[in-house]
Chain A
């Protein structure tokens, strides 16, 4: 346990694909009370929905199971609880897989899992639309009926409440579907400190803590720009831990002896990450005001948070909808010195002329020259200032509603090796593959039509 009255919530995954070593290191590196694992990004739900349609036992973040297998005995021994949105579009399937792993480890009698569902609106969409919920796109204002027949996934963002309920009912690990990233950190605090559902400042503080650690090491030295050279031992970077007090203050720390760094400047980089209006960080639990946060370096690798103010939650929930849009493909070739950039540009002109002659219809053809303009575009593209660099990668992408023109495009890259400008290489990866585009449709829905459900499963 942490210092008296406090709890430690440790972040161990910032997205599906994050460092496989992090969960074990968070459990073994020092005392923690809760392990928080965030697996879901906007795009992830549609990928999972696709996997589930091919195999009904899938649809969850499969990395979660082997990660848990490594730490389950320690979790049971130390009474560490887990909150994870690894359930994706199949939280029950995820819980079953975890229960099986738990039994194999001989821990079947010792652990109980909470399963949070109710976020998945896919099967309810027609009823909801019929009842007058237009699910208008937050960015474009268009009603969902525009793309209804192409919808692949639709999930409401649930808040902390059902996770808290699962913890109260004795769950050792809570597996959820689309629960907000911040709720996975806030819920343990509400549970441990018995915060009232209308204690807006406290809920906002827990939400800020959640935002700070939800991207894992991105607040403890990873992807940190300020003094990046001086950040020690990123090979052994310590993932962040929120050490929270009942009064809503908390400190962001990491285990002793780990790499990385926790400073006011580094933590601030994470606070502004993916931020909208900072006075209105809206979650199902509250509205947090990021302009009220007070930060203080209270020790080495220890940043204190105080002053966080919050306001009542809205009566809406955000809905993340994914729909099939079309196809895209990206082809690359590498051109070598001398005049690498000019050769790559000449190749792009040849390619575009051939695509034009073929009469292929695309929504977009996009060319980048890696080494010149791929990341900062027109800010660095000015040819007069491009030095004669060692090599340039030509990268051309196309997008279309139909597969055929995209497929044809993929066959126009390789020929350039023999019939285009010289000094070209780097086609070892083979012909690019057309990729399905799943587009994102953000919407709002009345919170009262979404009923979270909590089930407890014995391993």
Chain B
């Protein structure tokens, strides 16, 4: 059956309407970028990945004035990382855990270490430990050290508020001139000691 010209145009408009699931994307992206981004989002949805982070990534790119190709690549890379994150964290990972894990992967944390963190954390969500890990690496703590420190804390049952306090203390020490590795390992010793028994931590 051949479609008349007007039918094709109508179908295209219909397609755009259907595909523009988030109206903000249509308002901020040009057509080719919109189509490509929505395709990535649809594919992510089929894979049962959270789609909101992909929309957010595209909106961020638009807000930062990035060109279409950069936005498409960023959204695609994020969806790949989220896929890896979800596999590493196992099927019951929450959207927040997947988001945080994708950020950790972006700074160089390995998929294997995501899985180790999940195993080390038991029933505790890993969102906050992952955000702390991402921050440590951003503060120039070597990835291996940062990962080992966070794993140790998770294994010993350190909870989110203590993780956050640990991150804050390491940041303050680095601002005061401390070497990032020394700051992270020293503060981790303190956090572990406080978490274990109420004895005075030794240097």
Check if A and B associate.
no
List the interface of chain B (C-beta within 8 A of A).
none
